[in-house]
Structures are given as structure tokens and as C-alpha cells.
């Protein structure tokens, strides 16, 4: 196994705690420990022993309640959605398999599939149609050799969602060839309009849904994610987890239980922040509509812009980081050159200052 460099995560790991204005984050302003805990004094009594590897039954039950046709037996708690995706692919994919990745996408699944020796076939969302799925291209790409179809909905980096009809059609295409679906739904619950977008959960026998508390819940520091899968697959993931993180953090699990018990309130907070802060980014972009093109996000605190400036995305972002202490994500990190992903879910003063810094840089680049 040899995994390609995960360029976006490497850039963020190096710079996210060094820049003044981080607009590369795709979640919302995180909760404090005081906000996340019912009673901090009570939390201090938590014993710091090993947690149960599969996760607390109460936590798994909470997760199963918003995944159709699932019970606690279908759920494995992981260290973030990243571990959930990694272990799922490790359980399903062998060298020589084909993996279809609907692009653009969080590039972890693309890199892991490559590292496992699979051939990756890309099917691109159609930007000219508002980043919607090209079902004809998907149908042509999936065949008898396809082991897994990887989908991210709501989508990172575009902020768009699949309709219930599109989800059903993707399931139909995969089922026809006996392929699995890995649906990363970590942004589900962060829809701007309030109603949750369609989930893949419960729509077939070879479907794995992953998610976590980072993006829609404002709790990335807990590093709590989950796999929702058929029982045999969940057990296969759990056996592999014995080789990785073994068990969740005992403190994080306590806080995860508290968070999931008040899931509607946390999602309401997230939607408020997304709707409060999106207009600031939209207003900024509207002032540069000759140079920028975008589809307003339906979910999540991210927008994916194409641009006309005469500079590739990595040199642009590199200058922004080094000269203006501001970070956004270059489109090349999603294999989508001349694009930029800008996050708007952080504190308002960071968003405004970061956009002002980006303005100063763009003024030096010109048309």
C-alpha cells in the first residue's frame, strides 16, 4: 500500500493554527466545552479508562435513529468521519477493484482507493448545471468490476445536495452491478432551508453511510464519527478498527451522547450560523461577479467558486497564506483547477477580515 499525499489536509495541518484568518474550514464556529457539556463539574468525574471499541450503545442508538432501517447493531463509532471512510474502504476494496468517485469530492476516498490498489474512475458533477449529478456518465462508469461508488452529499466542496430521486437512481445503478455505495453524509443537517437532505441510509443492502459531529454539529474537536452499515460490514469495520484507534475517547463519547440527545438544537444553531454568514460572502462575491462564478450552497458553510484571474489556484492560495496570513482551499486540491473553496462558518470578524485580505491580493493580480 502506498497512499498519495493528501494535499489539502497537509496544507491545513501546516497553516491552520498559524494564519490570522482561516477561511479553509468547512464547518461552523465550534462550541466551547462549557456549551457542549451539560455540567462541566459532572464531566470531570468521567473515568479515563478505555471506552468500548464499537462505541456506547446509547451513542449508537442515537445515530441509528436518524438513519432509516438501522439499529445500534448497524453502527460503529469511529475517530471522526475520516476514520469511518478509511475503515470502510479498507473493509470493502481489494487491489485490482474499480472504485467510482463522484467528483469533486473530499479527496480522502480518492487517495485511499488508490492506496489500496484500486483503479479510480471519476464521474464529475456538472458545474454548468449547478453541480448536479450526471446520471448518464455514472451509468456508463459503473460496471461489473466496480466494487464501490463513493458519494459525498451534501457535497464537499460545492455545498450542493442530491435529490431523493437522484439518490434512488444512484442506488439503482450500483445495485444493477452488485456494487457498494459509500455515502459520506457528514454535512447532512447543515442545510440552509432547514429540512434535511435525502440520505442513502436504508435504500439498499450494500450501502454504507458515514458521518460525524464535526461539520453539522460544531464539534470537530471531539473527533467522533460513525459508520452505519449492514451488520456483517459493521463487524468487518470493527475488526479493522482494532488495528487503528481501537476505541473512541471516553471523554468524547460522553460529550457525543449529550450532543446527539439534543441534535435538533445543535442543527438549528448550525443553520442559523450558515444563514447569518452566507450573505457576507455572497455580497463580497457579487462585487466581483465578472471574475467569479458560483452556485449558492444548499448546505454547509462552504462555497466553490470558479474564477477568471490569470493565476492557478495553488500559487494564488500560497501568496494569500504567506503575504496576507489568510487561507482558503485551492481548487487543485479537488482536481478542479481555477476554483477556490471558501468557508464562511467561522466568526464573522474572521470572515470579513479574510475576505478583505483576499481582496487586496486579487487587486494585485488583475484581470
Q: What are the pLDDT digits (tens) for 15-33?
A: 999 999 999 999 999 999 9
Distance CA 69, CA 46 (A): 33
Assigned domain for 156 exists: yes
- Domain holding 327: CATH number? 3.90.1150.10
Domain boundary among 241, 262, 283: 262
Mean pLDDT of 88-98: 98
Answer whether 0.75 is exceeded by the pTM. yes
347 in the same domain as 315: yes
Mean pLDDT of 4-13: 96
Q: Name the grid cell of 273.
A: 450560523
Per DSSP, helices labelled H in 72-157 are 80-92, 108-115, 135-141
Give yes or no for a contact between 142 and 177, defined as CB atoms under 8 angstroms apart.
yes
**pLDDT tens profile 299-343:** 999 999 999 999 999 999 999 999 999 999 999 999 999 999 999
Of 259, 299, 69, 84, residue with least CA distance to 183: 84
Determine phi and psi for 111, rounding to 5 degrees.
Answer: -70, -40
Count of the separate structural domains present in the chain: 2
Query: 142: burial class by Cβ within 10 Å (0-12, 13-18, 19+)?
Result: buried
Percent of the chain with pLDDT over 90: 97
- Domain holding 176: CATH number? 3.40.640.10
Determine phi and psi for 70, rounding to 5 degrees.
Answer: -115, 155
Peptide bond into 273 cis (omega under 30): no
Q: Can you give the length of the chain in residues?
A: 367
109 in the same domain as 255: yes
Whether the per-residue pLDDT at 367 is higher than 70: the answer is no
27 in the same domain as 165: no
Peptide bond into 313 cis (omega under 30): no
- What is the per-residue pLDDT for 194? 81
Whether the per-residue pLDDT at 366 is higher than 90: the answer is no
180 in the same domain as 312: no
Distance CA 225, CA 78 (A): 5
Assigned domain for 367 exists: no
Distance of CA 63 to the CA centre of its chain: 17
| Structural domain span for residue 109 | 46-262
Per DSSP, helices labelled H in 1-56 are 7-15, 33-36, 40-43
247 in the same domain as 351: no
Domain boundary among 262, 283, 307: 262
Give yes or no for a contact between 101 and 150, defined as CB atoms under 8 angstroms apart.
yes
225 in the same domain as 195: yes
173 pLDDT band, cuts 50/70/90, is very high
Distance of CA 103 to the CA centre of its chain: 13
Spatial CB neighbours of 170, under 8 Å, sequence gap ≥ 6 = 133, 135, 138, 149, 151, 162, 181, 200
The strand pairing partners of 221, in sequence order, are: none
Assigned domain for 288 exists: yes
Q: Strand runs (DSSP E) across 167-277, as ranges?
A: 180-184, 207-212, 225-228
Assigned domain for 126 exists: yes
Strands 292-294 and 180-184 come out as unpaired
Domain boundary among 244, 262, 280: 262
Three-class DSSP category at 261: helix
270 in the same domain as 256: no
Assigned domain for 121 exists: yes
Distance of CA 201 to the CA centre of its chain: 17
Assigned domain for 22 exists: yes
Assigned domain for 73 exists: yes
246 in the same domain as 294: no
Query: 233: burial class by Cβ within 10 Å (0-12, 13-18, 19+)?
Result: buried
Amino acid at each position: 500500500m502506498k497512499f498519495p499525499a493528501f494535499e489539502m489536509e497537509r496544507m491545513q495541518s501546516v497553516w491552520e493554527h498559524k494564519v490570522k484568518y482561516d477561511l479553509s474550514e468547512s464547518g461552523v464556529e465550534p462550541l466551547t466545552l462549557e456549551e457542549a457539556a451539560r455540567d462541566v463539574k459532572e464531566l470531570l468525574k468521567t473515568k479515563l479508562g478505555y471506552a468500548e471499541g464499537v462505541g456506547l450503545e446509547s451513542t449508537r442508538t442515537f445515530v441509528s435513529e436518524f438513519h432509516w432501517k438501522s439499529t445500534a447493531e448497524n453502527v460503529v463509532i469511529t475517530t471522526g468521519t475520516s476514520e469511518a471512510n478509511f475503515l470502510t474502504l479498507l473493509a470493502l476494496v481489494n487491489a485490482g477493484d474499480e472504485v467510482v468517485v463522484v467528483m469533486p469530492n473530499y479527496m480522502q476516498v480518492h487517495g485511499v482507493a488508490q492506496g489500496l490498489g484500486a483503479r479510480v474512475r471519476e464521474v464529475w458533477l456538472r458545474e454548468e448545471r449547478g453541480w448536479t449529478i450526471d446520471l448518464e456518465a455514472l451509468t456508463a462508469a459503473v460496471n461489473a468490476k466496480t466494487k464501490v461508488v463513493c458519494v459525498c452529499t451534501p457535497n464537499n466542496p460545492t455545498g450542493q445536495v442530491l435529490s431523493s430521486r437522484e439518490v434512488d437512481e444512484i442506488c439503482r445503478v450500483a445495485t444493477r452491478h452488485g456494487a457498494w455505495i459509500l455515502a459520506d453524509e457528514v454535512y447532512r443537517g447543515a442545510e440552509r432551508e432547514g429540512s434535511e437532505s435525502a440520505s442513502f441510509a436504508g435504500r439498499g443492502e450494500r450501502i454504507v453511510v458515514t458521518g460525524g459531529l464535526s461539520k453539522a454539529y460544531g464539534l470537530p474537536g471531539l473527533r467522533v464519527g460513525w459508520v452505519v452499515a449492514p451488520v456483517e460490514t459493521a463487524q468487518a469495520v470493527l475488526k479493522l478498527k482494532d488495528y487503528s484507534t481501537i476505541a473512541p475517547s471516553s471523554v468524547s463519547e460522553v460529550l457525543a451522547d449529550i450532543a446527539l440527545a439534543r441534535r435538533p438544537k445543535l442543527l438549528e444553531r448550525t443553520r442559523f450560523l450558515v444563514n447569518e454568514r452566507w450573505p457576507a460572502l455572497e455580497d463580497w462575491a457579487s462585487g466581483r461577479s465578472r471574475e467569479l462564478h458560483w452556485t449558492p450552497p444548499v448546505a454547509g458553510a462552504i462555497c466553490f467558486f470558479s474564477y477568471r484571474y490569470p493565476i492557478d489556484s495553488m500559487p494564488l492560495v500560497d501568496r494569500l497564506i504567506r503575504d496576507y496570513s489568510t487561507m482558503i482551499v485551492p481548487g487543485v486540491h479537488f482536481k478542479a483547477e481555477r476554483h477556490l473553496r471558501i468557508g464562511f462558518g467561522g466568526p464573522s470578524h474572521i470572515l470579513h477580515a479574510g475576505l478583505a485580505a483576499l481582496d487586496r491580493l486579487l487587486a494585485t493580480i488583475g484581470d
